Amino acid sequence: MLERFKPKVEDVVRIDSESLRASVAAIFEKMGVPPETAADGADVLTMTDLRAVESHGVSNMMRVYVQQFRDGILNPTPDIKIVKEMPGTATLDADRGLGILVGRHGMNLAMQKAKEVGFGVVTMSRSGHLGAVGHFSMIAAQNDMIGMCITAGGTSVVPTFGGEGRLGANPISIAAPAKNEAPVLFDVATSAVAMNKIQLARRVGADLLPGWVADMEGTPQMQDTPPNDYGGFLGLTIGGTREQGSHKGYGFSLMVEVLGAMLSGSVPSMFDETPRESMFKNYFAAYNIEAFTDLDTFKANMDQMLGTLKNTKPAPGHDRVLYPGLTESEDERDRRANGIPLHKEVVEWFEGISEELSTPALVRA
Amino acid sequence: MLERFKPKVEDVVRIDSESLRASVAAIFEKMGVPPETAADGADVLTMTDLRAVESHGVSNMMRVYVQQFRDGILNPTPDIKIVKEMPGTATLDADRGLGILVGRHGMNLAMQKAKEVGFGVVTMSRSGHLGAVGHFSMIAAQNDMIGMCITAGGTSVVPTFGGEGRLGANPISIAAPAKNEAPVLFDVATSAVAMNKIQLARRVGADLLPGWVADMEGTPQMQDTPPNDYGGFLGLTIGGTREQGSHKGYGFSLMVEVLGAMLSGSVPSMFDETPRESMFKNYFAAYNIEAFTDLDTFKANMDQMLGTLKNTKPAPGHDRVLYPGLTESEDERDRRANGIPLHKEVVEWFEGISEELSTPALVRA
């Protein structure tokens, strides 16, 4: 994540990750979620913060989820149904379950099918927010498979040349295991900037960069723009302008809509009248590496590639070359040891809700 | 394609598409390719030009393929072997066959598996150039499936912050059918600009735009740059700079490397010592839509989405909103009726080779 999104040092409180996990799980249980599922959701959010994907960790999301449960639109005990199935595929109805709580079910089923026929793909309609989609791809990578996970929903992003929002942030993720190197973990919004990042920018007082958002008529804003008037922007796709490749971002966003929404039997997101809280259409895929090639050779090849990428001579003015998943792995090590840095406002919210619900308080690292 | 890449009107000759197809097929046959396969390759190239994807049609590619056959590195009669197989997957060795000639085999096998288990994915090593990967995705869409096709190979593109080339143009394509609207056909390089476009720009005398290429040390060129010194650039990934999202393009490029190269059992492209002519690692995937949901409903939903996208109110200064595949379909209709516009230099090359090989000459439209 760019430096500009990080909170100022004086605003940061380091929280022990196990205490965060316990606190989140307990809050979910108070919302009526069964203990095992609540623990699973706490794992998604805590891992997301351990990997330093603040935009999708507890800071932005926890209070939203709590509100959605309280509003009664999310179902704490969903009955996930198989709508259609073949040996390599399944279409599920998530029954208004929160995505971070039902996502593991989707990826587990995809992995089971991949064991049987080499590849498994599971689509899922009527889900709540899925959180950081990369988390579910990583479940596959941790099981020696390649994982992909995407989620469709929303209409805040304009198609190239468009003056009206038609697409969601529609993120795509892929994860693949290596032998000794940190696994590949690629997880990005197909919008120029994840919409959650605008919230983060507002919290930390950073400007939005040129090409990140459009005004309400669809014109890309090509100067630094303060995020104060959140809601007064339309999103742009990756690239920002046609010349810089926004048509490519648009195509990737549409790919998410086709694989997530259309292939789960849902209507296009732009016509989806499901309440926002349960409008997400998810896609989970698992590749059984051994179906294609020797697993050890695959992992050794991954090590060779990733090692070479990170040892690439940097361009002038840069310290090092990264690959997707590398800093996430480094951050995880640091944060497990030294705690997760949360903005003091977020810690205050946890203090309030813990007191209200009589759940375990956060512990400073 | 941006206007700047199109040849000047006075340099253009309109050629009848059937005559182009016949000429290309006859040239392939003279290279030792069996008639049915030669016709297939002619179909790939002619369709690519009909869809106005000039960078991957006959203009850039035909003379390259002829030279590669003459150099004896490509195999005109490859024995394509199944290296590994499960009900939903297969890994093939293309035996140095030209990609545009062996690609249909890969997609056909993927579609057959999709009929049986719901989804099929086929990887393929040791292939020659695959041409426009979208062509193979479209074969699936024409058979009421969703198709994906990608190809890995090359080292001309830098990772974000990198000063050395490590990745290829690594294109990704997806195609999906609709009912009455033109199908979605998305096909893009994960580099900021397809390397072939630099050749096109040189032919038509257009500048490269800011953020499209880096100098030989890896610094993105942020001004208009003449393409004269082709070979004097390193490629950038989609986005161009980190601030504009090059890390996202980098991740998509790496995704191609993982699914194409690694999953076909190949070494990473950056260590691939196979001769350039047969170094491509391909990936073909087909989703059987009926395995997931009702096909008619899917197509009706696609129509609703695509119709709404193209009728989106344009942003100020723009005439209309497109979707990937729309202009390709319009161009195809025009070019079938009025001929394919080729640069006069390309027509001259065809005249020379037709005379030399005694193959049918091109016919003006």
pLDDT in tens, A92-142: 999 999 999 999 999 999 999 999 999 999 999 999 999 999 999 999 999
Spell out the SS3 assignment of chain A. Answer: CCHHHCCCHHHEEEECHHHHHHHHHHHHHHCCCCHHHHHHHHHHHHHHHHCCCHHHCHHHHHHHHHHHHHCCCCCCCCCCEEEEEECCEEEEECCCCCHHHHHHHHHHHHHHHHHHHCEEEEEEEEECCCCCCHHHHHHHHHCCEEEEEEEECCCCECCCCECCCCECCCCEEEEECCCCCCCEEEEECCECCCHHHHHHHHHHCCCECCCCEECCCCCECCCCECHHHCCCCEECECCCCCCCCHHHHHHHHHHHHHHHHHHHCCCCHHHCCCCHHHCEEEEEEEEEHHHHCCHHHHHHHHHHHHHHHHCCCECCCCCCCCCCCHHHHHHHHHHHHHCEEEEHHHHHHHHHHHHHHCCCCCCEC
User: What was the pLDDT predicted at A125?
Assistant: 97
Residues 64-123 of B with CB under 8 A from A: 83-84, 86-89, 91, 116-121, 123
Distance spanning both ends of chain A, measured CA to CA: 23
Confidence of residue B207 (pLDDT cuts 50, 70, 90): confident
Contact (CB<8Å) B121/A119: yes
Q: What is the mean pLDDT of residues A227-236?
A: 78
Selected residue of A292, A299, A304, A323 to mutate for chain B interface (largest B Cβ count, 10 A): A292
CA–CA dist B258, B82 (Å, integer): 20
CA–CA dist A288, A113 (Å, integer): 9
Question: In terms of CA atoms, which chain B residue is nearest residue A89?
Answer: B118
Distance spanning both ends of chain B, measured CA to CA: 23
Are B136 and B107 a contacting pair, CB within 8 Å?
yes
Are B340 and A300 a contacting pair, CB within 8 Å?
no
Q: Which of A83, A158, A309 sits opposite B166 (nearest CB)?
A: A309
Query: Which residue's entry shows tokens 């790939």?
Result: B44
Backbone angles phi, psi at A191, to 5 degrees: -80, 160
What's the CA angle centered on A177, arms A39 and A172, to 5 degrees?
Answer: 70
Confidence of residue A229 (pLDDT cuts 50, 70, 90): low
Confidence of residue B196 (pLDDT cuts 50, 70, 90): confident
Are B291 and A86 a contacting pair, CB within 8 Å?
yes
Mind listing the pLDDT tens digit for each residue in A304-319?
Answer: 999 999 999 999 999 9
pLDDT of A172 strictly over 90: yes
Nearest residue to B149 via CA among B289, B328, B285, B324: B285
Q: What is the mean pLDDT of residues A297-307?
A: 98
Task: Return the percentage of chain B with pLDDT > 70, whole number.
Answer: 99
Mind listing the pLDDT tens digit for each residue in A5-45?
Answer: 777 888 899 999 999 999 999 999 999 999 999 999 999 99
- Residue B209 gets which letter from DSSP? P
Cβ pairs bridging A and B (under 8 Å): 306
What the block records as the tokens of B129 is: 């150039």
pLDDT of B226 strictly over 80: yes
- Nearest Cα of chain B lies from the Cα of A247 at a distance, in angstroms, of 8
Are B107 and B131 a contacting pair, CB within 8 Å?
no
For residue B101, give the H/E element and its range: helix B99-117
Average pLDDT value over all residues in chain B? 94
Choices 3.30.750.210, 3.30.9.10, 3.40.50.300, 3.30.1370.60: CATH for B3-294+329-357: 3.30.1370.60
Are B25 and B41 a contacting pair, CB within 8 Å?
yes
Domain ranges of chain B: 3-294+329-357
- Nearest Cα of chain A lies from the Cα of B141 at a distance, in angstroms, of 12
User: What was the pLDDT predicted at A207?
Assistant: 87
Instruction: Give the lowest-confidence range in A54-58, A349-353, B319-323.
Output: A54-58
Contact (CB<8Å) A305/B268: yes
More confidently predicted of B153 and A232: B153
* Amino acid symbol at A97: G
pTM score, two decimals?
A: 0.96
User: What was the pLDDT predicted at B228?
Assistant: 66
Mind listing the pLDDT tens digit for each residue in B122-159?
Answer: 999 999 999 999 999 999 999 999 999 999 999 999 99
ipTM of the complex: 0.96
* Amino acid symbol at B188: V
pLDDT of B230 strictly over 60: no
- Nearest Cα of chain B lies from the Cα of A54 at a distance, in angstroms, of 17
Mind listing the pLDDT tens digit for each residue in A54-98?
Answer: 888 998 899 999 999 999 989 999 999 999 999 999 999 999 999
CA–CA dist A239, A193 (Å, integer): 10
Question: In terms of CA atoms, which chain B residue is nearest residue A162?
Answer: B314
CATH architecture under which domain A3-292+335-357 falls: 2-Layer Sandwich (3.30)
**Backbone Cα Rg of chain B:** 20
User: What was the pLDDT predicted at A228?
Assistant: 66
Mind listing the pLDDT tens digit for each residue in B40-82?
Answer: 999 999 999 999 988 889 988 999 999 999 999 899 999 999 9
What the block records as the tokens of B294 is: 């009702």
CA–CA dist B343, B336 (Å, integer): 17
Q: Which residues of B touch A92 (CB under 8 A)?
A: none
Q: Which residues of A touch B120 (CB under 8 A)?
A: 88, 119
Contacts of A241 (CB under 8 A, 6+ apart): A211, A220, A222
CA–CA dist A302, A293 (Å, integer): 13
Q: What is the mean pLDDT of residues A206-233?
A: 85
Q: What is the mean pLDDT of residues A175-203?
A: 90
Q: What is the mean pLDDT of residues A229-258?
A: 91
**Backbone Cα Rg of chain A:** 20
Selected residue of A91, A293, A297, A319 to mutate for chain B interface (largest B Cβ count, 10 A): A293
Neighbours of B70 (CB within 10 A): 10
pLDDT of A197 strictly over 60: yes
Q: Which residues of B touch A237 (CB under 8 A)?
A: none
CA–CA dist A341, A53 (Å, integer): 11
CA–CA dist B187, B130 (Å, integer): 13
Confidence of residue B275 (pLDDT cuts 50, 70, 90): confident
Q: Does A222 touch chain B (CB under 8 A)?
A: no
Maximum separation of any 2 CA atoms in chain B, in Å: 55
Confidence of residue A347 (pLDDT cuts 50, 70, 90): very high
